[in-house]
Structure 1
Amino acid sequence: MFLASCVSTLGASMTYIALYWYYFEQTTVTSLTLLTTATFLAGFVFNLFLTPIYDKYDPKLLMRTTMLIRCIILLFVGLAMYFFDISIYYMVVMMILLVALESIYDPSSIKIITRIVKEGDYVTANSWISILDRVGFLIGMLLGGIIIALIDIEMILFIEAMSFFVGFILLYFVQETYKVNEQETDESDNYFVFWKNGITYIFQTKWLLWLAVIAIAANLAIKPTVTLLIPYTSEVLYGQSVHYSILEVSSILGVMMMAYVIVKFKMQKLFHWFVIAPLLQSMCIICLSFNRTIGIAMVLLFLLGMFISLFNVPFTTILKKYVPNSYLGRVRGGMIALSTSLSSIGYAFSGVISDKVGIVQAILIYGMLGLIIILGMAILKPFKYTSIDK
C-alpha cells in the first residue's frame, strides 16, 4: 500500500509540475486558473455523484482498476501527442478524466486502511502514509521542474503511465485483515437511494457539517498556493520552473516533517488541532503576500506544509474513527465534494482578482478571508459539546 502510493505519486507529481508549467507558458494566468477551476469542479461532480461506488465495491479492486485505467489514458494521450499535433485542450480533457479516477481512488484508499490497520494505529498509519506519499511527491516535483526543460511533455506522460502500472502491480499484494466499525445496513441496491443515504448521513450529523465548514475555509485560505504559485514564482519572485519546483518541494518537506512529529508524539485532541492548523495556514499565506524573495518563500511554504499535515492527519483519522465503515466511502467523497464545490469558485475568482488588483493582493485577500472565517469558527467552539470529542 505504501509503496504503491509512493510510486504512483512520483509519476503523478512530476507530470503535475510539467503540465501546469507547460500550460502556463502556452496561455495566460487567467487561463491557468480556469484550468485549475475546471479540474476541481470535475472533482466536485465526481466526488458527489460517484459516492455509492466507494461503499458498494471492494476498495482494493477500485484502487487497482483506477490505476490501470489511468495508465491506459496517459499512454493514449502521450502517443497522440507524439504522432500528431493535438490541441492543448485535449490535455485538459485528460486531466478531468484523471480527476474522475482519483475521486474513486482516494476514498477507497482511505477505506482500505480500516481493513489493514488496527483502530488504535490509525493516527500512526495516516502519518506514515502522508510521509511516504510525500516522498514520491517530493522526488516527482524535483524531477518535474528539471525534466520539463530537458524532454518533451509526451515522454513525461509515458513515465507517469508506467508509475501507475507499477502501483497496479504492487496493490495486488495488499492483504485485507480487519473489519472494524462496521454496521450492517438494509439499504436498497438502487443507486440513487444509496447515494441519497450517504448525503443524508452527512447533513444529519452536526459534527460532520462543522468539519466540512472548517475544511472549506481552510481550502479557501491556501487557494493561492494552487492557482497563483506559478505566476507568483515567475512574476513576483522572478523565478523559473526549477524555482517553482523548489517551492513545492519546501511545502512537501514541511508535510513530511510534521507527519513524522505526529507519529513520534502520538497526537491527541484531534478536533483541537483540526481547528488550530488552518489558522496557522492562513497566517502563512498572509506572510507570503508580503514576501519578495525565494529564500523566505521557501521557509513560509515549509511551514505551510507542516500546518497542512497538522490539518490532514486529524481530518482523515476523525473520519475513520467515528464514521461507520458502511458509510465511510460516501462520507469521504461527500466531504470532498462539499469542500471542492466552494473551492472551485475560489479558484475561478483567484485569476480574476489577480488580474484586477495584482497577484500579491489576491494572495493577501485569500489569506485574510480564511483567517477571518476560521477565527469565527474557533470562537464558536463547534466541537466543545460534541460527544465524540475525547
Structure 2
Amino acid sequence: MLKILSNRTFLLFFIGNIISLIGFGFNLIAVSWLVLEETNSEFALGKIMAVATMPGLLLALIAGIIIDKVNRKWLLVNLDIFRLVVVSVFIYLLNTNGFNLSILYPVAMLMGLGNSLFWPTAQAFVQELVDDEDYFSANALLSASYQVGSLLGAGMGGFIVHFYGPISALYFNALAYFVSGVFIALAPFTSKHSDKDSEGILIALSKGFIFLKDKTGVLFLGLTTILSDIAIWGALSVLTITISKEIFLKGSWGYGLMDGMYGFGALLSTVAIAKTVAIIGRKKALLLCYSVAGICCFISPLTSTIYVAGVAYFFMGLHNNAARIIIRTLFMEIIPNRIMGRVQTIFGVYTRIMMLSSALMAGYITEQYDPFKGMGFASAHYALALIGIIIIIKIHKFKNEIFK
C-alpha cells in the first residue's frame, strides 16, 4: 500500500476523494434530518432517497461510455464543482425561502446525478493508475478513502446537525467539494486511453453486454453481491436515522454515532481483509463476511442501547466492506480496463433500480409497521448476497470463472 501512496497522482486523488466523501456524509445527514424533522415521515425520506437514484438510472445508459472516453481526472474535478454549485444554491434557497419538500426533489436529483458519475469514475480512474498486481491494495486504499470519508462525514455531520443545525452541515458540505476538486486538479495525470473512436452508443454499450454474455459468472456475481451495497445505500439510508430517532431517541448525533461506527469498521477492514484472505481464501472470506454483516444488521435495533447498536454497525461495516474489497478486486482482475465503464453501466442500471426499490420499500415497511420489520428487510439483502456466493461455489463453471 505504501508503494501506491508514493505515487503523487494517487495520493492527491486519495486525499481529494476522502474530502469529497466527507462532504457527501454531511449532505446525507443534513438532508435526512431536514426531511424527518419537517415531515415526520419515513416514506417521504424514502422517496427523497429514491429520487436521488433516478438521474443515475437515466444517465447510466451513457455514463460508462463517458467514463471510458474522457479524461477521468478532469471529470472528477468537474463533478466536484457541479455538486458544489447545487449545494450552494440549495443553501441559498433554504436561507431565503425556508424548507420546501418540492425544492428538495430537484436538488436530490441533481446531487444524485453528480454522485452516480463520480463514484464509478473514481474506481475506473484507480484501475488506470495502478498495475495489475496492485489491484488488491489499490482497492483496499480506495475503500479506505470511502470509509474515512464516511466516518468523518457522518460522525462530524451528526454532531454539527445536533448542535448547529442542518444548514451549517451543508456549508461544510459545499466547502468539502471545493477542497476535493482542488486536490484532484493538482494531481499530475495524462490519460492513457486509446479507445476514443466515434462509435455509437448502442455499439459501445453492446461491448459490455457481449462481455457479460460470455462471462455469466461475473454477471451472476454482480447481480447478487451488489445487494449488500443496496442494503447500505437503499434500505439503511432510511432506517439508520429512523432507528436513532424512534427506537433509541438519540436524534441526529445517534445517527452520526451509528454511521461513524460502520465507517470505522469498514476502515479497519481495509487492513484486516488481506490477512484474512491469505489465511482462509476469498471464497470462505465472502461467506463469513455476508453472514456476519446480515446478522449484525438484523440485531442492531434489538440491542439495549445505541452504543451496543453502534458496535453491531461496526461489525457490519467491517465485514460488508471486506466483502466489497474482494468483489471489486475480482471485477478489476476479470474485466478489461477499456470496457470497465461500460460493464459498470450495466451493473449501475441494476443497482439504481434496486436502490430506488429498496429505499421506498424500507420507508413504506417502517411507516406502516415498525423499524424492526424494516431492518429485517435490510438483512435480507445480505442473505441473498450470501446465497449468491454459495451458488457460485457450487456451480463448477461459475467457480472456475470467478475464483481462478
Structure-1-length-normalised TM-score: 0.89
Q: Which runs of 4+ in 1 moved over 6 A?
A: 184-187
Report the more deviating stretch, 94-103 or 143-152.
143-152
Structure 2, gaps ≥5 residues long: 1-12
Is the CA contact (8 Å cut-off) linking 1:103 and 1:333 kept in structure 2?
Answer: no
CA distance, structure 1, for counterparts of residue 202 and residue 348 of structure 2? 19
Alignment-mate amino acid for residue 235 of structure 1: E
Change (3 A) 1:209 1:187: farther
State the shift of 1:287 in Å.
Answer: 2.0
Change (3 A) 1:155 1:370: closer
C-alpha offsets along residues 338-361 of structure 1, whole Å, 9 cap, x if unaligned? 123123212211222223332112
Give the secondary structure class of the aligned counterpart of 1:333: helix
1:322 lines up with 2:334 in the alignment:
yes
Match of 1:248 among 259, 271, 282: 259
State the shift of 1:371 in Å.
Answer: 1.9
Alignment-mate amino acid for residue 381 of structure 1: I
Report the more deviating stretch, 92-101 or 250-259.
92-101
Change (3 A) 1:265 1:378: closer
Structure 1, gaps ≥5 residues long: none
Q: In the alignment, which residue of structure 2 is the partner of 1:89?
A: 102
CA distance, structure 1, for counterparts of residue 352 and residue 168 of structure 2? 31
CA distance, structure 2, for counterparts of residue 368 and residue 56 of structure 1? 37
1:389 lines up with 2:403 in the alignment:
yes
Q: In the alignment, which residue of structure 1 is the partner of 2:222?
A: 212
C-alpha offsets along residues 124-164 of structure 1, whole Å, 9 cap, x if unaligned? 12212222332232222122112123435444333222211
Match of 1:337 among 321, 326, 349: 349
C-alpha offsets along residues 323-378 of structure 1, whole Å, 9 cap, x if unaligned? 11110112123223212312321221122222333211221244246426633651
State the shift of 1:292 in Å.
Answer: 3.9
State the shift of 1:213 in Å.
Answer: 2.4
Q: In the alignment, which residue of structure 2 is the partner of 1:175?
A: 188
Match of 1:288 among 287, 300, 317: 300
Match of 2:82 among 65, 69, 72: 69
Alignment size in residue pairs: 387
Alignment-mate amino acid for residue 300 of structure 2: L
State how 1:243-322 maps to structure 2 within 5 Å: 243-263=254-274, 269-270=281-282, 272-322=284-334
Q: In the alignment, which residue of structure 1 is the partner of 2:43?
A: 30
Is the CA contact (8 Å cut-off) linking 1:34 and 1:347 kept in structure 2?
Answer: yes
Q: In the alignment, which residue of structure 1 is the partner of 2:208?
A: 198
C-alpha offsets along residues 224-264 of structure 1, whole Å, 9 cap, x if unaligned? 42221111111112222111110111101100111121355
Match of 1:18 among 30, 36, 39: 30
Give the secondary structure class of the aligned counterpart of 1:350: helix
1:58 lines up with 2:58 in the alignment:
no
Report the more deviating stretch, 87-96 or 41-50.
41-50
Alignment-mate amino acid for residue 336 of structure 2: P
Report the more deviating stretch, 310-319 or 195-204.
195-204
Give the secondary structure class of the aligned counterpart of 2:294: helix
State the shift of 1:107 in Å.
Answer: 1.6
State how 1:364-379 maps to structure 2 within 5 Å: 364-368=376-380, 370-371=382-383, 374-375=386-387, 377-379=389-391
State the shift of 1:75 in Å.
Answer: 1.7
CA distance, structure 1, for counterparts of residue 357 and residue 99 of structure 2? 29
C-alpha offsets along residues 69-124 of structure 1, whole Å, 9 cap, x if unaligned? 11122222222322333623322311221111122111211111123222211111
Give the secondary structure class of the aligned counterpart of 1:79: helix
Structure-2-length-normalised TM-score: 0.86
Is the CA contact (8 Å cut-off) linking 1:216 and 1:342 kept in structure 2?
Answer: no
Is the CA contact (8 Å cut-off) linking 1:123 and 1:266 kept in structure 2?
Answer: no
Match of 2:169 among 151, 156, 176: 156
CA distance, structure 1, for counterparts of residue 284 and residue 48 of structure 2? 35
